[in-house]
Amino acid sequence: MGVCEGPKGNHLTPEQAFEAYEAVRPALPPAQRAGAARFVENLDAVADQFDVFLLDAFGVLNIGETAIPGVADRIAGLRARGKRFLVVTNAAGYPHAKLMERYERLGYDFDPADVISSRATLLKALRTMPPRHWGVMATQRFGTGDLEEISMAFLGEETAAYDAAEGFLLLGSAAWTEERQALLEAALITRSRPVWVGNPDIVAPRETGVSVEPGHYAHRLAAKTGIKPSFFGKPFANIYDLAFARVGAVRKDRVLMVGDSLHTDILGAQTAGIASALITDYGFFGQSDAQRAIQRSGLMPDFLMRAP
């Protein structure tokens, strides 16, 4: 199984996760301007400065299958003041319909078109490419929603699926194992093929700890095989391009990205040229020191926000 296996999944400690992100900094977009890292309580404190809020999901809306208290009501109150909200998430392992079911179950009311996922970002890019047969890292029980037009096979323990693939899509790692990782790396060493990563996250916050995500495995196979994966989602610009296409005409200085991760949300906001707020009491830094991580990484958000 993956690194730091726990009773309900594979996990890294917050310190291990931070070090893992720092180790792959050369593969991430470069840091841009430093923010002031000004302390504020929540979104209400900055509402007058922004018209559009881009919200990460894990660590901002929810921790695993639990909604963060008060966030749904705060969003509703700010919408009543004319503010707009989009979810910008690296949750590529879930079909769009399942994401919407989850948000509704957690008490959130988002227009489906206002949920911008890295899965959708990758699929948009796929439509511009010649057809291929893809081997897919994903949880099979979630089905093939959004993937119906793609020639694909789920990757498991059978080597034939790896041999037949003309490329690989890394979407979700909940069912991924060390055995499958070894098969993927061996297949790529035998024959180089494209690797597209629909979730660049190395970790995600869960109720039981910090889970290992597809980005973790993508960086590992890059080091092992020499193949450079293509990443779709935060902190890369492609997902923000999709979000801005949905928003339409808006001044970038009136847009705020709210997230719990320095290396995805804050760096992603810098890549997109918008302001950022780092959540400090939930998600990635709920059990660790955000200010120390900021100093060590040099990634400076505009705001430090206790809760959304």
Provide the pLDDT for residue 287: 79
| Tens of pLDDT, residue by residue, the chain (308 residues) | 233 333 334 566 778 889 999 999 999 999 998 899 999 999 999 999 999 999 999 999 998 889 999 999 999 999 999 999 999 999 999 999 999 999 999 999 999 999 999 999 999 999 999 999 999 999 999 999 999 999 999 999 999 999 999 999 999 999 999 999 999 999 999 999 999 999 999 987 666 666 889 999 999 999 999 999 999 999 999 999 999 999 999 999 999 999 999 999 999 999 999 999 999 999 889 878 999 999 999 999 999 999 99
Provide the pLDDT for residue 10: 52
Is 200 in contact with 268 (CB distance < 8 Å)? no
- In the chain, what are the domain boundaries? 26-118+234-305, 121-231
At residue 228, the 3 state secondary structure works out as coil
d(CA 66, CA 282): 12
Provide the pLDDT for residue 83: 98
Whether 26-118+234-305 shares its CATH topology with 121-231 is answered: yes
Domain 26-118+234-305 classification at class level: alpha beta
d(CA 188, CA 150): 21
At residue 150, the 3 state secondary structure works out as coil
Provide the pLDDT for residue 9: 44
Is 255 in contact with 52 (CB distance < 8 Å)? yes
Provide the pLDDT for residue 107: 96
Q: CB atoms < 10 A from the CB of 179, how many? A: 11
d(CA 28, CA 153): 29
At 271, list the tokens. Answer: 């890549």
Q: For tokens 């400690």, what's the residue?
A: 13
Topology given in CATH for the domain delimited by 121-231: Rossmann fold (3.40.50)
